[in-house]
Amino acid sequence: MLLKDKVVIVSGVGPGMGQALARIAASEGASVILAARNKAFLDEVAADIVAKGGKAIAVPCDVSDEAQCKALADRAGSEFGGRVDGLVNSAYYHGNWSFVENADTEDFAKTFDVNCLGALRLSRACVPYLRDGGAVVNVSTMATVNPYGTEHGMEMSYAVAKGALNTLGKYMASDLGRFGIRVNTCRMGWIHGDPVEGFIQSQVDAGFKRDDVVAGITKNIPIGKIPPEDDCARAVLMMVSDYSRVVSGAALDVNGGQWMAP
């Protein structure tokens, strides 16, 4: 098992890749601490993991709140023997789609606070438990390096905040290495799960054919399909595992080849 006997915190456990990260981490042998604001959803996912023989607890946490981040880290440490082997920072707030002329700076600030400072708050709270072999993975987006937009606006505030997270990850790796902690980033592309299915259905409801919508998404993805959320989650969790124990400060592109770093 990829994560046998490891203790892993996953923030941002929602209907998308967050729940996939939690479920797969548990199936790979980890004791998982699920964190997000929606307690009912957390309890549902945790109960499902336990029913299937896994180990999981749900701890509601808003990463914009320093005290809640510390409480989450302390609960994880006390519940599973005083250590945390992996932290996956996948909590996010997407922010508005906009163009430069109508960009809302308050929305930019909120997006930055959750996506970048939220990861900093939670990582900082977990440092005492991550020492001597722990790993942090920051979940980012390829929109930080490949600007994306539609006729309704650009994915600007989200990408800018995640771009800051990319840089934060490098500084964290440089700093926390002295404690034996690795830090890496995964830049995600399209992820085929409930949120993308919702987008596809919205386009179908607007009169487009499903096959045409999917073809429009996949035309620039060399593997020829929207990367499934479970496979994307496995790529992220590989960076937590011992297979990556000499990798730190890296950015792994998880997008089916849609963006290839030069």
Q: In terms of Cα–Cα distance, which of 26, 29, 87 is closest to 57?
A: 26
Calculate the alpha carbon distances from 224 to 133, 134, 216, 220, 231 in Å: 37, 35, 11, 8, 14
Residue listed under structure tokens 């042998």 = 29
Calculate the alpha carbon distances from 197 to 137, 188, 191, 202, 204 in Å: 26, 17, 10, 9, 10
- 224: amino acid identity, one letter: G
- φ/ψ of 55, rounded to 5, equals -115, 125
158 is an active site residue: yes
Task: Give the count of alpha carbons within 13 A of 166, CB side only.
Answer: 19
Count other Cβ atoms within 10 Å, centred on residue 66: 15
| Choice among 93, 129, 158, 243 that is catalytic | 158
Residue numbers annotated as active site: 158
